[in-house]
Each structure stands twice: as C-alpha cells, then as structure tokens.
Amino acid sequence: MALIKSVRGIEPKFGKDCFLAENATVVGEVTMGNNCSVWFNAVVRGDVHSITIGDNTNIQDGAVIHCTFKTAKTVIGNNVSIAHNAIVHGCTIHDNVLIGMGAIVMDHAVVHSGSIIAAGAVVLENTIVEPNCIYAGAPAKKIKEVGENRKDVFERTAKNYVMYSKWFEE
C-alpha cells in the first residue's frame, strides 16, 4: 500500500478510481482528481504548500511533485502526463500537457495547454511556456509548435495510464 501521510493535520484527498503504487508517497495538502495514478517510487509532497491535480493525470515512476514554502504552490491540470523521473516544483501545468522523462519545471513557471516539455528539459523559474509548443534544452526554449499529427498524444497517453492502472487492481 502507498505511503499516505497527513502533515500538520492535513490529509491528502483523492478522487474516484485513483491508483497509487505500493511504494508511491503522497503527503500533506494534496488534492487529486478522478482517474489519476501515482506510479512506483513517485513522490507527491504537499508538506510546505498545496498541490492540486486534475482528472486523468499520471505521475510516472520516480517523479517528484513538490512546492516552495508559502510562495509557490503546484497546480496540475487534466490529462497531464508527468514522465519518469521528472520534477515539477511550485509551478502551474495546464490541461493536456506532457512533461518528458527527467524534465524539470521550476517555481512560478506556467506551462500552457497542449504543450510538450521534452525529456531532460529544464524550464527555469518564471518561464511562460506558450500553448501548443514543444520546449527543449537547458534552459528550455521553444523549438517548434506541436504538429496536428501529435495533438492526440495528451488524451491518448492519459487514457493509456488509466488503462495501465486497471492492470494492477486486485
């Protein structure tokens, strides 16, 4: 069973049909929507500020979601995929976004809908990621717009992770 822990008397809240891997950790002021998943060794740590996560969002293996004390909460929208070993910290991620493997999104950054943060990218503090764009590099910069042939990746990946989580039901 996942480690679910209250902090300062505040317990995480979960929507319907959420999957938490046995070694996932969710603590403190975390509110998660429906059909979300937190995978193996992932940490969602709402101990110093709030974390709000929309519906159909997946936080994959080894990812860390955190915030900054009193200054930077984390808000994650619907149909967001946060890939393996990514760090999402004190920022806003709008709906239909893919955060690539090992990417880092820092405090007060805003990632608008329909965008992809490439694997290994570093989105610096206060960066505004334009809608429907791909950002890559360190520091992350816009490299191109998301093509029409890639726009299904957000919903498809979100739906796949809802399906994968059902494989682990006992």
Domains recognised in the chain with CATH numbers: 3-166 (2.160.10.10)
Region 67-72 average pLDDT: 96
Residue 169 in this model has a pLDDT that exceeds 90: no
How confident is residue 147, by pLDDT bands cut at 50, 70 and 90? confident
Q: Which pLDDT score is estimated for 149? A: 79
Q: Residue 69 burial (CB < 10 Å; 0-12/13-18/19+)?
A: exposed
Residue 69 in this model has a pLDDT that exceeds 80: yes
For 97-118, the pLDDT digits (tens) are 999 999 999 999 999 999 999 9
- CA distance between the termini of the chain: 12
How confident is residue 1, by pLDDT bands cut at 50, 70 and 90? confident
Residue 125 in this model has a pLDDT that exceeds 80: yes
How confident is residue 32, by pLDDT bands cut at 50, 70 and 90? very high
